[in-house]
Structure 1
Amino acid sequence: MKELTRGVLRFETEIYPKRKEFFDKLIARQFPRALFITCSDSRVVPNDMTDSDAGDLFTIRNAGNIIPPYGELMGGVSATIEYAVMALGVKNIIVCGHTHCGAMDAVLHPEKVTSMPIVKVWLNHAESARRVTAGYKDLTEEQKARTMVEENVLAQLEHLRTHPSVAAALSTGDMNLFGWVFEIENGHVLSYDADQGAFVPLSEEHIPNATPRRRRRIL
């Protein structure tokens, strides 16, 4: 804790005073650019990954970047999604998984969490991703782990669409969804491209989008 305490003191005495004008602008209201839903893993740092600042990301973090389907668990994840969309007017939601994810490893190898009943129940929300991954034959353990991470991002995006606030915004074209995988081993981020059906590199020329096609209005 000494290192963390020193960090707090440096922030209070050096960093905050230099940026007080910036933080003063955030006092009245926040205008986040995106809702960022990711794993609690300490190696995943959303603001570093996106080179963003305080006030840019409204964040949800939990084991396995899980989003329970609407109505199944009316807890903090559901409340935060609803608040982000309806109160803050967030138009972009990113679901970000990462390689070497302990939660996804536990989904593939449930014996590792037999002594953690709450974790085991929580990870049931990734069951559809596990079954899809199991359907891919002849994968190495490394390939299976990577596939599980990707399929879980897609599964959680499906769960996200069951939330009324998100579904309503999608129906009017006011919401964009993104599925990312952060590669810890090289610092790269891949994004799911719904048109290609694959995770592809990001670029300024092409920002892959996981938003489903907008439904045609019936007049």
Structure 2
Amino acid sequence: MQKLIHGIRQFQQSEYRRKQSLFEELAGGQAPPTMFITCADSRIDPNLITGSDPGELFVLRNAGNMIPRQDMASGEAATIEFAVKALKVEHIVVCGHSQCGAMKATLEPESCESLPSVAGWLRNVKGVVERTLRRHGEQSPERMLDLVIQENVRMQLENLQSLRCVAEALASEQLQLHGWTYDIGRGEIESLDHERNEFATLFNDECYQPDESATGFA
């Protein structure tokens, strides 16, 4: 705890002072262009890996970056609805990550025997292992985990579209959805190509140029 308290002091004396005008502007309201849905894992820092300032990402985090289907009364559905209808975000990113504990648990359900709430939460990703096997067949345990992490991103993008507010925003072309996976050890992002339904490195440093015309999934 002392480390956190010391960090607050450092923030007030350095980062806040350097961006004081930004924080003063944000005190009056927010208008983030992007919603970022990712795992609660402590190793993921959405602002750090995207180089974003405060106010640029509207972040939703939970175990396994999951979105319950349809308009269920859940914190996730309420947060997404607020982002889409009140804040009018233009993009939603669903970002999985390497070595995800929630996805490991889908492969090893016995690991949740003493965690009933976790086991119940994993119902939101029921069938992800079977979907992965149909798509890729049997794989090594390490490769299987990576593929389940990718398949979960596909599944959560589908769940997103089952929410009425998201479906309406997509239909009116006010919103784009993006599926990413983040490799913690390498610092790399892979993005889901919707047309090919495959993941690929988000960009090549040598030839990267921002795509200003992307629509739908990225």
Decide: shared fold, TM above 0.5.
yes
- How many residues end up aligned between the 2 structures? 211
Query: Identity, % of aligned pairs?
Result: 38
What is the letter of the counterpart of residue 211 of structure 1? G
Match of 1:205 in 2: 209
Match of 2:185 in 1: 185
Counterpart CA distance in 2 for 1:67 and 1:19 is 34
Does the 8 Å contact 1:177/1:211 carry over to 2?
A: yes
SS of residue in 2 equivalent to 1:86 = helix
SS of residue in 1 equivalent to 2:96 = strand
Counterpart CA distance in 1 for 2:215 and 2:127 is 18
RMSD: 1.7
Counterpart CA distance in 1 for 2:117 and 2:214 is 33
Counterpart CA distance in 2 for 1:128 and 1:87 is 33
SS of residue in 1 equivalent to 2:127 = helix
Alpha-carbon offset, residue 74 of structure 1: 1.1
Match of 1:31 in 2: 31
Match of 1:114 in 2: 113
Does the 8 Å contact 1:177/1:209 carry over to 2?
A: no
Match of 1:84 in 2: 83
Alpha-carbon offset, residue 59 of structure 1: 0.4
Inter-CA distance 14–87: structure 2 relative to 1 (3 Å threshold): same
Counterpart CA distance in 2 for 1:31 and 1:53 is 12
Match of 1:7 in 2: 7
Counterpart CA distance in 2 for 1:5 and 1:210 is 43
Counterpart CA distance in 2 for 1:14 and 1:74 is 41
Does the 8 Å contact 1:94/1:178 carry over to 2?
A: yes
Counterpart CA distance in 1 for 2:11 and 2:64 is 30
**Further displaced range: 192-201 or 133-142:** 133-142
Does the 8 Å contact 2:94/2:178 carry over to 1?
A: yes
Q: Which runs of 5+ in 1 are unaligned?
A: 213-219
**Further displaced range: 1-10 or 127-136:** 127-136
**Further displaced range: 42-51 or 4-13:** 4-13
Alpha-carbon offset, residue 31 of structure 1: 1.5
SS of residue in 2 equivalent to 1:28 = coil
Counterpart CA distance in 2 for 1:123 and 1:211 is 27
Match of 1:102 in 2: 101
Does the 8 Å contact 1:32/1:57 carry over to 2?
A: yes
Inter-CA distance 102–68: structure 2 relative to 1 (3 Å threshold): same
Cα displacement string for residues 181-203 of structure 1 (whole angstroms, at most 9, x for unaligned residues): 00112000000001122111223
Does the 8 Å contact 1:97/1:153 carry over to 2?
A: yes
TM-score, normalised to structure 2's length? 0.92
Q: Which runs of 5+ in 2 are unaligned?
A: none
Match of 1:53 in 2: 53
Counterpart CA distance in 2 for 1:139 and 1:206 is 34
What is the letter of the counterpart of residue 130 of structure 2? R
**Further displaced range: 92-101 or 129-138:** 129-138
Inter-CA distance 28–68: structure 2 relative to 1 (3 Å threshold): same
Alpha-carbon offset, residue 75 of structure 1: 1.4
Cα displacement string for residues 78-130 of structure 1 (whole angstroms, at most 9, x for unaligned residues): 00000000100101000000011111000111100111111101011111322
Alpha-carbon offset, residue 206 of structure 1: 6.1
Cα displacement string for residues 133-163 of structure 1 (whole angstroms, at most 9, x for unaligned residues): 2333230001110010000000000000011
